[in-house]
Each structure stands twice: as structure tokens, then as C-alpha cells.
Amino acid sequence: MKNVNEFTEAVFLMKDELSAMRKTAGKSNPIPFMQQRVRDRASAASRFQKLSPEERRKVIEQNGVDAVMQMLRGKEG
């Protein structure tokens, strides 16, 4: 029988769980902070139309005209 403090054992278990979570998170494709993903053209077009002119300009500056046009047409870039 091991003679290990129960708190030490809990810390080791948490370390193993955190390590597994990091590996899983590293394989994912997270959404960048302050951004959104839409699945269909109708949703993308609707959200884009609801933006103010300044917000639309910012989206176009960040993504480029071609990417925004593809998004609104429903094509993957």
C-alpha cells in the first residue's frame, strides 16, 4: 500500500486531467475571441445586413472583399 497524502494524490490526478484536456484542446479548431461562425449563407447575409456601416467596413478590412463576397454567396474560402 502506498503511503501518499490524499491531497498530493488529488493534485496528481488534476495534473493528469489537465494534461489530457490540453491535448484535446490542441486538436480542436476554436473560434477566435470576439468572432463568430455561421453555417449557412442566409445567416451570414442576415448578420452582415444588421451591422452598422462602420462594422461592415471593419469586417471587410479584416477579411478582404473577396472573402466577404464568398461568405455572402455561401462559398467556403
pLDDT band at 31 (very low <50, low <70, confident <90, very high): confident
Cβ atoms of residues 68 and 60 within 8 Å: yes
CA distance 21 to 28: 11
CA distance 58 to 44: 15
CA distance 56 to 68: 10
pLDDT for residue 74: 66
Domain extents in the chain: 37-77
**Mean pLDDT computed over 3-23:** 93
